[in-house]
């Protein structure tokens, strides 16, 4: 098995942590402040997490948001996890993305609905 980069993080890369998870800035950020929240235990899928781990991950997401609010003053956030290669998971150690969003950073943000063509077309508010 290859050495997992998330299992061997340098201590100075960690921006926040709790008993079951750590947070680091993404090396290839989508936006300034793009952060990864990573469980300390190695497992590939979010769905393998224990209830305690899920709670610890989400507590750390909330802590990271406070750090990013103070440092970057974003207008919004995308928070998500890719599960499986077809969903974009590139590293076999689960991690949550916390991506600060800024007004005007994308011409048509659309959130997760921009991942692919929808099965059912999205209706505008005036329809």
For each of the domains in the chain, give its residue range(s) and CATH number, in order of start.
Answer: 11-114 (3.30.428.10)
Q: Is 58 annotated as a binding residue?
A: no
pLDDT band at residue 117, thresholds of 50, 70 and 90? low
The 10s digit of each residue's pLDDT in 51-100 is: 999 999 999 999 999 999 999 999 999 999 999 999 899 999 999 999 99
- pLDDT for the residue numbered 46: 97
Distance, CA of 37 to CA of 94 (rounded, Å) = 9
- pLDDT for the residue numbered 127: 47
More reliable by pLDDT, 50 or 114: 50
126 has pLDDT over 80: no
Given the residues 34, 58, 93, 95, select the one marked as catalytic: 95
pLDDT band at residue 110, thresholds of 50, 70 and 90? low
Whether the Cβ atoms of residue 57 and residue 47 lie closer than 8 Å to each other? no
Is 42 in the active site? no
Which residue has tokens 């007004």?
Answer: 103
Tokens standing for 55? 């709670």
More reliable by pLDDT, 7 or 116: 7
Tell me what the mean pLDDT of segment 41-57 comes to: 98
């Amino acid at each position: 098995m290859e050495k997992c980069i998330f299992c061997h993080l340098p201590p100075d890369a960690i921006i926040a942590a709790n008993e079951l998870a750590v947070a680091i800035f993404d090396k290839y950020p989508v936006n300034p402040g793009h952060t990864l929240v990573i469980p300390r235990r190695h497992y590939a899928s979010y769905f393998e997490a224990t209830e305690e781990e899920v709670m610890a991950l989400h507590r750390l997401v909330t802590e990271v948001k406070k750090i990013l609010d103070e440092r970057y003053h974003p207008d919004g956030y995308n928070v998500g996890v890719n599960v499986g290669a077809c969903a974009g998971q590139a590293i076999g150690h689960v991690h949550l993305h916390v991506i600060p969003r800024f007004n005007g950073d994308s011409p048509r943000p659309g959130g997760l609905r921009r991942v692919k063509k929808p099965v059912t077309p999205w209706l505008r508010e005036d329809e």
